[in-house]
């Protein structure tokens, strides 16, 4: 019996062009498809099942894309989602091939979705998948509830069920997912909604859910403990062990002044969960409060907390360690023998981290929802204050022919940017990586005026070759070949199974800057977000670029697009210039306030 294409595998049901917004048209890439499965399958299993067909899996070192100056960009394959392309670059995949895929995989196929390309680019950063089982409907203001319920019932007849939990982050937007045996696609339902005059008075827009093909995080394993953390003494967080063999001896470091406060919490927004079982992270993660946005919310929409059984991420574990791997505070900590007691020391090793896990292919509204959680929950359930947000994901800017857009996030101005503004206004210092494309254009959201854009340097204090740069760069931190935590401690045949390995990437520069922000807020709790930023920028160590052509002056300090204001300096920042007057308030009226640090005055 011939295989009959189900609606979600019928190429004729995919529009040739979609319009995420009036200024942006995306065209279908007929040589690529997005495969969603009903149960987990390994890459090897999928490749074996499809070996006889004229399709292959996209790969990060793909021959269909030309040479790229930055890090290799990784295609985000997952156990239930794989990106396919024709085995001949640019050749269209026809319906016969799609039908053959369905026949090979049978009940494993949940759906096969289209891939769309941003205009005026052949770069795979401009490719996005569209989920045929998700719709986002924006309702006009002042629509009566009875009318909205009528619309909800109609959409339910189409097989789409409302997911109200996602709506709390975006007023006026309503999320629907097809969980029924009715196989109507989001393309068909949207077309009918927009064509019907019955709904025009209440619907502002009907949007799709877009999934970027390439990972939003960036790193490259170099495959090879404080004594090896050259980046920590380069930014003067700890002492350089070399001074112990000199006549001058220790010179003092930032950790002499503060290793952080457990009541200062850092939000960590990254693609994946960190390994909360790693010895260096014990006591550093806010218990039972990390949020996982990676699976599309169930109908109950109860977003689960992190747990030991959740899949762990190498990237996120490394970021968490740079932020806050446990550190033994003075006086136990000898300047000549810094040690976390477990292996590595994080910049803010006495602060705590609140993980926010998203997909590597996170949609713009998922990223916005995670930022909104941080923006609206400054005080945690135990009373601690979340004052810093570290974001180690980003999307490359794409020229659409009329304007620049962050690839894969066409709704960034609706879902993400307002939430960043809210987070800043609610007292969060936001630190974001510039990303790793070796380009003079840093990625979004590092270009947002609400954030501190963080680039990377190498061991020669030069901009790391991979680090993006441009007019928005604020500061830099060492992030080429640095020792970080690894998630696979104790797992046989796992690279870095002693719990540590060497990595590079601006993903590990941003947490150094965020860690410094947390140290400042631990030492001087009354600092504002703007004051924290001013201290970080004004105390940065100038680099060679600041005496070269292209250097300019911003806010009274030398600045260069390659490295911003320079290399962060933890010691200088914590010694805070006199313009920042701050001291911890006494807990009660009978308590005498502590003496202010040297050079500070109290109003």
Which one has a higher pLDDT value, 476 or 164? 476
Q: Is the Cβ–Cβ distance between 244 and 439 less than 8 Å? A: no
Is the predicted pLDDT of residue 250 greater than 80, yes or no?
no
Q: How many domains does the chain have?
A: 3
| pLDDT score at 305 | 37
Q: What's the full length of the chain, in residues?
A: 603
If pLDDT is split at 50, 70 and 90, which confidence band does 82 have?
Answer: very high
Task: Tell me, yes or no, whether 594 lies in a domain.
Answer: no
Least Cα distance to 574 among 599, 555, 556 occurs for 599
Give the percent of the chain with pLDDT over 70: 79
Report if residue 598 sits inside a domain: no
Q: In angstroms, rounded to a whole number, what is the distance separating the alpha carbons of residues 516 and 564?
A: 16
CA atoms of 534 and 536, how far apart (whole Å): 6
pLDDT, tens only, 418-438: 999 999 999 999 999 999 999
Range 9-36 average pLDDT: 90
What is the arithmetic mean of pLDDT over 562-572?
A: 96
| pLDDT of 533 above 80 | yes
Q: What are the helix (H) ranges across 325-363?
A: none
Same domain, 37 and 143: no
Residues 182 and 279 grouped into a single domain: no
Q: Which has the minimum average pLDDT: 257-266, 326-335, 449-458?
A: 326-335
Please identify, among 180, 207, 234, the residue that sits at the C-terminal boundary of a domain.
207
In a domain, 603, yes or no: no
Give the per-residue pLDDT at 284: 86
Residue 600 confidence (pLDDT) above 50: no
Residues 431 and 332 in one domain: yes
Q: Verify that 123 and 138 share a domain, yes or no.
A: no
Same domain membership, residue 21 and residue 84: yes
Residue bearing the bigger pLDDT, 42 or 535: 535
Answer whether residue 279 is part of any domain. Answer: yes
Neighbours of 440 (CB within 10 A): 11
Least confident window among 215-229, 403-417, 582-596: 582-596
Lowest average pLDDT, out of 140-144, 191-195, 239-243, goes to 239-243
Helix (H, G, I), strand (E, B) or coil at 43: helix
Domain boundary among 69, 101, 130: 130
Residues 153, 138 share a domain:
yes
- Residue 214: inside a domain, yes or no? no
Same domain, 87 and 139: no
pLDDT of residue 43: 86
pLDDT digit string (tens) for 91-134? 999 999 999 999 999 889 988 999 999 988 777 888 999 988 89
Provide the percentage of residues in the chain whose pLDDT is more than 90. 43
Do residue 367 and residue 473 come from a single domain? yes
Q: How far apart are CA 418 and CA 322, in angstroms?
A: 28
Mean pLDDT of all residues belonging to the chain = 81
Shared domain for 29 and 138, answered yes or no, is no
pLDDT given at position 308: 32
pTM: 0.80
Both 120 and 140 in a single domain? Answer: no
Query: For 275-302, how does the pLDDT look when each residue is reduced to its tens digit (9 = 90+)?
Result: 777 888 888 887 655 676 654 333 223 3
Read off the CATH number of the domain in which 60 is found.
3.30.70
Range ranked top by mean pLDDT from 62-76, 337-351, 438-452, 568-582: 438-452
Q: How many beta carbons lie within 10 A of that of residue 223, not counting itself?
A: 9
Sign (positive/negative) of CA torsion 519, 521, 523, 528?
positive
460 and 567 assigned to the same domain: yes
**Residue 310 belongs to domain with CATH number:** 3.40.50.200
- In the predicted model, what is the mean pLDDT of residues 541-559? 93
Verify that 294 and 196 share a domain, yes or no: no
- The predicted pLDDT at position 254 comes to 87
Asked whether residue 586 is domain-assigned, the answer is: no
Q: What is the reported pLDDT for 301?
A: 30
Is the link from the previous residue into 445 a cis peptide, with omega within 30 of 0? yes
Q: What is the mean pLDDT of residues 61-84?
A: 72
Mean pLDDT of 565-592: 67
Domain that holds residue 63: 7-130
pLDDT value of residue 54: 95
Q: Average the pLDDT over 414-420 and give the result.
A: 94
């Amino acid at each position: 019996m011939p295989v009959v294409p189900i609606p979600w595998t019928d190429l004729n049901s995919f529009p040739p062009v979609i319009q995420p917004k009036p200024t942006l048209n995306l065209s279908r890439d007929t040589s690529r498809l997005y495969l969603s499965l009903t149960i987990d399958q390994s890459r090897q299993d999928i490749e074996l099942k499809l070996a006889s067909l004229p399709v292959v899996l996209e790969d990060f070192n793909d021959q269909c894309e030309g040479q790229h100056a930055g890090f290799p960009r990784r295609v985000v394959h997952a156990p239930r989602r794989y990106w396919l392309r024709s085995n001949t670059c640019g050749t269209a995949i026809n319906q016969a091939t799609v039908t053959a895929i369905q026949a090979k995989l049978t009940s494993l196929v949940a759906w096969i979705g289209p891939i769309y390309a941003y205009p005026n680019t052949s770069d795979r950063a401009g490719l996005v998948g569209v989920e045929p089982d998700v719709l986002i409907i924006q309702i006009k203001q002042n629509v009566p509830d009875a009318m909205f319920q009528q619309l909800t019932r109609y959409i339910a007849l189409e097989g789409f069920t409302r997911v109200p939990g996602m709506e709390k982050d975006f007023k006026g937007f309503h999320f629907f997912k097809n969980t029924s045996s009715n196989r109507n696609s989001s393309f068909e339902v949207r077309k009918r909604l927009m064509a019907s005059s019955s709904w025009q008075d209440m619907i502002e827009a009907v949007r799709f859910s877009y999934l970027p093909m390439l990972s939003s995080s960036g790193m490259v394993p170099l495959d090879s403990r404080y004594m090896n953390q050259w980046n920590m003494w380069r930014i003067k967080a700890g002492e350089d062990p070399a001074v112990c063999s000199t006549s001058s001896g220790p010179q003092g470091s930032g950790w002499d002044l503060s290793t952080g406060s457990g009541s200062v919490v850092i939000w960590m927004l990254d693609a994946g969960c960190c390994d909360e079982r790693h010895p260096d992270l014990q006591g550093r993660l806010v218990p039972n409060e990390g949020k996982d946005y990676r699976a599309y919310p169930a109908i109950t929409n109860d977003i689960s907390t992190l747990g030991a059984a959740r899949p762990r991420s190498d990237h996120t574990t490394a970021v968490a360690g740079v932020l806050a791997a446990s550190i033994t505070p003075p006086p136990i900590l000898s300047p000549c023998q810094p040690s976390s007691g477990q292996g590595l020391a994080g910049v803010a090793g006495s602060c705590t981290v609140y993980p926010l896990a998203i997909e590597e292919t996170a949609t713009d509204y998922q990223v916005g929802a995670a930022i909104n959680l941080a923006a609206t929950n400054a005080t945690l359930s135990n009373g601690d204050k979340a004052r810093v947000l570290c974001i180690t994901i980003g999307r490359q800017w794409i020229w659409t022919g009329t304007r620049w857009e962050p690839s894969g996030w066409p709704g960034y101005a609706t879902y993400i940017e307002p939430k960043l503004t809210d987070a800043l206004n609610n007292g969060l210092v936001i630190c974001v990586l510039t990303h790793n494309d070796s380009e003079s254009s840093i990625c979004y959201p590092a270009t947002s005026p609400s954030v501190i854009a963080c680039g990377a340097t190498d061991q020669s204090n030069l901009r790391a070759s991979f680090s993006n740069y441009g007019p928005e760069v604020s500061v830099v931190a060492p992030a080429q070949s640095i020792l970080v935590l690894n998630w696979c401690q104790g797992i046989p045949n796992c690279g870095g199974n002693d719990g540590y390995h060497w990595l590079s990437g601006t993903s590990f520069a941003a947490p150094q800057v965020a860690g410094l922000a947390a140290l400042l807020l631990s030492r001087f709790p009354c600092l504002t977000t703007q004051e924290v930023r001013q201290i970080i920028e004004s105390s940065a160590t100038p680099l060679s670029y600041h005496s070269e052509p292209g250097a300019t002056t911003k806010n009274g300090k030398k600045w260069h697009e390659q490295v911003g204001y320079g290399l962060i300096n933890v010691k200088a920042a914590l010694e805070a210039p006199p313009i920042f007057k701050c001291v911890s308030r006494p807990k009660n009226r009978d308590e005498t306030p502590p003496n202010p640090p040297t050079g500070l005055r109290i109003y």
